[in-house]
Structure 1
């Protein structure tokens, strides 16, 4: 790690060019605004108060973000729409040098929680992902997510969809949505169902609520990864527990700053968490909403915290080891991460 002021353009270029992996990416939230606008026009759907004059997504606080997110998602109404979306998202990933991504996929948005419809949506996304892997070299895997503010009953339906379609491609189950609604334990039944189906588990926690929410996620739902989890930094004992158990945090620095969880990156705790031995990864969350890319995340971490190539290579290795993919896929990813000789 160096003084951030010591980074020159050559070192930044090397960092920007590194192969990257991300584990926290919402498929709908990664939709380019132009893609959503174009789809709305094709279908003659009005999207009021969704875009700013410059064409970007328009929202103020987190509550408004959720409303705009769901409004934008409303134009995605068929498996073909999601196939096209998958291609558009993976094009963005490839442009940032991402070689592997895990995307959150919600049966609530893909068929309204109906298992038959979900199978059709899933098939379309998988076909698009296979084409992208062949043509762009980026590997996608899916994590089914329930939506917290839709309630435990809908979460059970999402878990059923996940359990019935679980395999090496659909490899995880998690929960997104409004963290301020209900508690983690309210969703224990859905997570138990997914676990019994062999799916690996993650959940959003510790973005808006404090460190206790992260502890509840680990103890009540027995997840091995936590989405965001950054508020854990406020509790040294919790950080020690996370370090000892190897629970991985899916940290999204640009998202946290854009939504006001932290006022700027300098006051973001990612560096502190790493120093305490907590395993962290870096992702973009909903990149067009937060005006970020994986290239920008890497560059900002280098410029603010002085991370060098060694830190980013270690980050990528940690991410590959925390991925929910098969052992064969992980081995192939680790091979791609080896420095060229």
Structure 2
């Protein structure tokens, strides 16, 4: 068995960003919506930089207009993830895209997504949990609505709250109300930081929002004091190497700091972020990391153990996923 064939845990996956291009094109065809401008001639997503990526992402979401669309999308995502050896995944879901700002609509969308997740677990032996996210560039007031949706649907399936979007807009602290609301509802917390925002954004995420995990967080490598704080606080980084390379943070996998962070004692995990946008899969991430750093099955088993410990799930689910990891 190669490292690519190993069972895997993924903690950082954007639901709409995981939509296969063919799936979005099919929906656009069914709904007679012209999305030709967001695809390359080969059918893949077309974007120039991070800001343009966000625009293309939101354009693709224009065809996702009903609970049934999200049910179909969830099945497509989980079939693809399972084919790449993923046995447990957490997906970022935004009420801004699922229901468009209405709590009752959000609940309908969520029911459809959960139904699809249950079907996928029966068919593909993969477990999914939801992390509700606000969108940073939509602002703190809109984030309050997302937090309210998260709090109202918190439970065994919606287990976390976080924030994605453009790091260059606003500060982590401006979203404190939303994160406090989610925390009071018993949700685990994560937020994107230390991707384009630099190491200081990671420190702000920890101090101002009190998160347990940080999405990306790789720029922490630039600040030794911050690295020590991550270790001392037992913070886990949801690292997405392929995404970081495609978006230009690092020239290639060999230059990526994930190995140095791990050697420094930081909890690191591996995810794909928005896999079809960044031409990656969990299999490819494992292959590229093995090639770049010489990591073997034992290294990836340790990464999965870290991910399992950091997963936003109950202990029964954790035990079930652990058994899947031990099958190899």
The 1-side partners of 2:156 and 2:268 are apart by 24
Matched, 1:327 2:315: yes
CA deviation digits over 1:184-240, x for unaligned, max 9?
000000000000000000000000011000000000000000000000000011001
Q: Which residue of 1 aligns with 2:269?
A: 281
Q: 1:183-202 residue pairs with structure 2 within 5 A?
A: 183-202=171-190
Q: 1:19-30 residue pairs with structure 2 within 5 A?
A: 19-30=7-18
Superposition TM-score, scaled by structure 2 size: 0.99
Match of 1:110 among 79, 82, 98: 98
User: What secondary structure sits across from 2:249 in the alignment?
Assistant: coil
Matched, 1:313 2:313: no
User: What secondary structure sits across from 1:29 in the alignment?
Assistant: helix
The 2-side partners of 1:299 and 1:48 are apart by 32
Q: Which residue of 1 aligns with 2:136?
A: 148
Matched, 1:75 2:63: yes
Residue 127 and residue 339 in structure 1: after superposition, are their counterparts in 2 closer, same or farther (change >3 A)? closer
Matched, 1:336 2:321: no
Q: Which residue of 2 aligns with 1:42?
A: 30
Matched, 1:17 2:5: yes
The 2-side partners of 1:201 and 1:93 are apart by 23
Q: 1:1-341 residue pairs with structure 2 within 5 A?
A: 13-338=1-326, 340=328
The 1-side partners of 2:326 and 2:73 are apart by 31
Q: What is the deviation of 1:339?
A: 5.2
Task: Identify unmatched segments of 5+ residues in structure 2.
Answer: none
Computed over aligned residues only, the root mean square deviation of the Cα atoms, in angstroms, reads 0.7
Deviates more, 1:258-267 or 1:226-235: 258-267
Question: Are the equivalent residues in 2 in contact too, given 1:113–1:161 (CA < 8 A)?
Answer: no
The 1-side partners of 2:101 and 2:236 are apart by 29
Q: What is the deviation of 1:14?
A: 2.3
Task: Identify unmatched segments of 5+ residues in structure 1.
Answer: 1-12
Superposition TM-score, scaled by structure 1 size: 0.95
The 1-side partners of 2:199 and 2:157 are apart by 32
Deviating runs (4+, > 2 A) in structure 1? none
Question: Are the equivalent residues in 2 in contact too, given 1:82–1:121 (CA < 8 A)?
Answer: yes
Q: What is the deviation of 1:55?
A: 0.3
Number of residue pairs matched by the alignment: 328
